Structure 1
């Protein structure tokens, strides 16, 4: 376990990832702070969760699986067959057990930044959206996502859920129940006219 201060996380992750992933992580942290200012979230927590959200993304797959197992997490059938989800799970264990972060909001923001879930906190929503809208992102409709993120987090999240679910289903890939729960909660909470 390390005793890093918030200001040292950027230097720490620089040693753990390549140039693209490092730039992405810095951009997510910056976007998270911008969203935190808009929505009244603690900016230091937003920065910390943003800079650390992909901390294990470039770890070897077997190392990610070992971190998950050591953290007492048993992967469900969708997770077992979706290695792209492993980094968020291993990352949450890593920030808790290796970096000594005790703040559950940061741990959950790292854990659910890929799938979302029902009942997300403000910080979790901010990191989820910041990951989709960071400065280097250039996918189709990213400008719509960025615009929505400045109006309401929920509208941006619904857009991103539809994007992700549509993309996964078009490739006949499994959709994690957390993603579906997130989508369903957003749809059910839309104010009906």
Structure 2
């Protein structure tokens, strides 16, 4: 294990009870709001998995761990990513918050011993989505947008919930399209988001 992760591991006693360890770690690193958000996303991901014939335990695990990298301050994320040999895109260097999804993937794997690739992949693209998303990718992405971590009600929420009656892809596209319509005001456009936008738009047009 990389020394940076080993130091985190040694900062508390891990019990092997996933939810408890996640909450304790986030609380220890002064991220109580992220802990609350993660619990809500885990529960919502499990609900969506049940609704769309997915694996509820996998969905809940990915939802609980999706923001575990909140323990790393934003100012340290690029350095941390380099130490962990994570591929860093120019957009991530310019706006380090986005790389938290990749960091969460590594922390889930190395600190929490998550080995299932589908869970790790869903954690690793939960902010931007990506091309050819799996059902679990879509579930965790949508759950995170339903239970967003900002004050108030998401401005896209009603439309997203309505489109879930059509499909997971339709629900996910509502949020991506919401971002796309204001892309000139965003600090960066992550290439994974661009890929997901174009592919979902084409797929949904073909389905109409």
Counterpart in the other structure of 2:138: 125
Determine the C-alpha separation between the residues in 2 that align with 1:91 and 1:7.
Answer: 15
Query: Who wins on radius of gyration, i.e. which is larger?
Result: 2
Q: 4+ residue runs of structure 1 moved beyond 6 angstroms?
A: none
Between 1 and 2, higher relative CO (CA 8 Å, sep ≥ 6) is seen in 1
Q: CA deviation at 1:146?
A: 2.3
Contact 1:3 1:99 in 2 (8 A): no
Counterpart in the other structure of 1:175: 189
> Relative to structure 2, which stretch is displaced further, 105-114 or 132-141?
132-141
Contact 1:26 1:50 in 2 (8 A): yes
With the length of structure 2 as denominator, give the TM-score of the two structures. 0.82
Determine the C-alpha separation between the residues in 2 that align with 1:43 and 1:123.
Answer: 10
- Cα deviation 1:97-118 (Å, max 9, x = unaligned): 2222111111111110011100
Classify 1:149/1:107 alpha carbon distance in 2 versus 1 (closer, same or farther; 3 Å). same
Determine the C-alpha separation between the residues in 2 that align with 1:11 and 1:42.
Answer: 22
Classify 1:135/1:147 alpha carbon distance in 2 versus 1 (closer, same or farther; 3 Å). farther
Gaps of 5+ in 2: 1-8
- Structure 1 segment 3-152 matched on structure 2, within 5 A: 4-15=16-27, 16-134=29-147, 138-152=153-167
Determine the C-alpha separation between the residues in 2 that align with 1:56 and 1:143.
Answer: 29
The number of residue pairs the alignment matches comes to 192
- Cα deviation 1:125-155 (Å, max 9, x = unaligned): 1000000002776121312212323431111
With the length of structure 1 as denominator, give the TM-score of the two structures. 0.88
Classify 1:164/1:57 alpha carbon distance in 2 versus 1 (closer, same or farther; 3 Å). farther
Determine the C-alpha separation between the residues in 1 that align with 2:109 and 2:128.
Answer: 19
Q: CA deviation at 1:181?
A: 0.7
Instruction: Give me the CA root mean square deviation.
Output: 2.2
| Aligned with 2:179 (options 152, 164, 176) | 164
Contact 1:115 1:176 in 2 (8 A): yes
Determine the C-alpha separation between the residues in 2 that align with 1:163 and 1:107.
Answer: 26
